[in-house]
Structure 1
């Protein structure tokens, strides 16, 4: 009797983030239509050992290393295989179970992922159906992800494509960053995941995150090409950005993006509908094209006619060969000659903003994508805002600012300014006293009167060269000193000084005067440190033990860097030569600000073991953030090389000695790395703030000072008082790290704005991009990042339980599906940019509690000015094994108890209301129950 044959369907799937396994999905007997599907728990290789040991299957599985591959293999069922998959009567039976029927899996290419046929279109594959879909590709750049998905699902439903096939079809319509997201997502997941899972991940990644989409839609303008294409695309962008935008508003925005010569020919009264607008745009299409074509043809005729003219080249004075045009811009001697203006009255200005004010061409209407760099200068001792533009040859001043400052001077010598799009007349030029940073000179500026030119002054190459201005990699403007030193105190940028001082010029001038009054407090470099007069640091040891260690080995490059820094420290008086019996080694570590290994660190690990700790307390970060309630303006100050400002007691200097490859030194100021250094500095700066009665509006955490106020005039007064106190104490500030009078500020890893706090976006990105942990050390590192922002995550203790289980003793590390779900949940919460309101004891307090078999949780909310309840705190706690066996009513009561204990310091002396979804708790206090021992 011939042995029966059966077709087995194999698929490669993922076991975890790295491992790919092969499963057996179905089996079908020869000459039979029914296909039988193996249960999920019996699809793994371990249940089909004898099948996988056959040479045919073994060779097939070797070729299925990529996830998502399919193979259909015919196997002759002989001996043991027949007993495994057939019963005595020849029916399909596996381990005593009769299998259920399944849909056929047809794979046209058995070694690559296939797209199965649609359930409703029997003879039409998804490949051919995709070609019938009417949908633009999605790249994730200035596109509405939600609308794209809605259109995608509509098209799939129109062609009757099954829901399980949506992820396969989605890939066809993705490109750029969106396609990269799909491929990355597929590495950790499979196509068999439900569509809802793919959809949620897609929206979390590409959903709207701000005003960029609306800004792009409203500012999108015609540049080149068919104007009808522009009008259609502009309308599509407007609808995506704001579906409720009225028809008239759509027409207005489309018309405003057209060139001026086209707008002038469109009558607003005639544009009653989109169809009429499109018709007019199509009729005026040739106006732009004919104009450009005629200009090009005219240029060609001029060039052709000039070929017969024997004019010498202005650079090399050669006439050229017959019938060959010797163009000036092609002359080889052009680069060696000085550029000469044929008309001395014509000057070049390349600034985009000035071009836009003097020309209506489409090239001048391009959106400025790079940030404008601005700085504060003085014109006849009056502060004004100047725009830094290294692309302009001359400097200009706005006529409106001359009137505003009452600068009664004669404007003379009207001249033309030449831009890339044409010429414009200036009102003339004016001589003023211009002061930029430390240099003051008399300078002549050209005067422009334009509504579009909003800045006070434009600084061109003439001023940039004369005043020795330069731009660093952070887009900040500095002034080169004669000694070629980097002057930190003079680095001014519009974003660091007057970002929010925009109420009126009086407030701007007040801040400028305050900073100018205390300009000596700003350090010129990191070695320019002050010295505290009334304090000194003491270093006490638990036992008299000399710590002497050998210097660390380092590269020649690191030796040069260490030697350079030691010389600078010695020159500044921060260190001195030593003959101390103490010696700690030196090393270099990477410094983020400078982007290289430049931070000089002393390894005081052995000395720290015998140092008596300083017991001054550090403020609790949450308590500091609560002080900023109802404040609208913030200033952050940073002490320059803070610890180096504190002198060390004379007899304790020898304990700080360190050794390098070519010398022995000791600190005369408090060094970084000592066990007690942070506590000593916290005590000193806190005492300075308290002694000058600044606690009502200023706080500090080590060297970071935060000033907060409810209005701008009050804030300016607070800044003045704080700077005075710091200057009198002997400190100096790092201007680069200071920010003044801002409506929002980043402080201690949190962003404070109004009455809300939110986590720092850079830290959230580090968590969202954190790779999948491979061992317990990686899990601890991940928890360290998450725990800092634990208060922003509801039910955090319950969500993170799988992570904590991995850290238990004698537990094998295994990244399970629960860990994956917890990891994705944390990323999802943090990717939504969580925001918490600052607690206000004067507002009503509402606590919402809940409990489950895994843990208890609660949310503290308070009503805001718009009468909406906003979250202030989150709380969660895991249950012990004994607590998990309690009844629901006890767990709900436990949630109330634990939340009150957790927030007791905020609730004491205040009325609060508790909300629970467990009805039996209402009569819980009148029932006789046993004592609750939790």
Structure 2
């Protein structure tokens, strides 16, 4: 049974450059004769006979990244032979006679028997690869604008969750090569993390595996203490906007545990609110965090009113405190030393007032008696 060697490669789809497809580039027989498959017939979905083999399933699981290649031998079953050879033994595919070129092991030179058409096709392939690299290089400059995520800082509590978000964004934007991921990582590291990145470049270079960088990154910045968890759970409203507090606590809780269920998330946010605010929210009506935020926005005026009342009470107390800071003048006049209390409640004020009234009353009675004794006419009543 004749065997044929097929070359598989992961390429960009002609319909969507961001999508990858597996293509069949060439076929080599046991005599090392290489036959090139035209570009329009390269997508593996056109090769039903190959896709039905167990060998192809292994190839499919092996090829992961764009430009990965594998050359494998496949037994020439009746279906394979019928698909790629005509009745006279010529190599063909879907009625198209395949062009034979020299084996790559013999060198790509005209002396090896390469036709101008085949050489032109090879040069076009190199040009396509170069063009893809140029496009990807230009796109790297705009990665900050395309990525929907924050920069990593040492203050972030869950480094594993951040790196998983980074990988998801890379997959969304078609950045699957390890080298490109490593290059993109630098754009999303805070200045404090640039020393780590520089040291990794020296030790492993940018051409190393992404899994190595990911492991080292997580081990370096993983916070294994309880401090970030404790801070996120105990974070409470102090002052300012209620909504700003709620949004900030939601972010901290999700950074701590992205998979936290909605009910627990709502409860932890609400428990940090002032009691007089939380008691005005019906817990049974809260299905999403947005429901809680909507209720909180409607209660902002209560916090502002309470702050205003505190300012008024505080100003009154301040005025009282100001009076208490000045010594009582009545006590000083009585030579009782410096005593700090309001003059209106001073004991000496009431005592001195009663004494003056008594003296005034006695003096008036004495004066009247003396006048009556001197001149009796003063005792006459006038009607």
Higher relative contact order (CA 8 A, sep 6+): 2
Scaled by the length of structure 2, the TM-score of the pair is 0.44
Scaled by the length of structure 1, the TM-score of the pair is 0.20
Higher helix share: 2
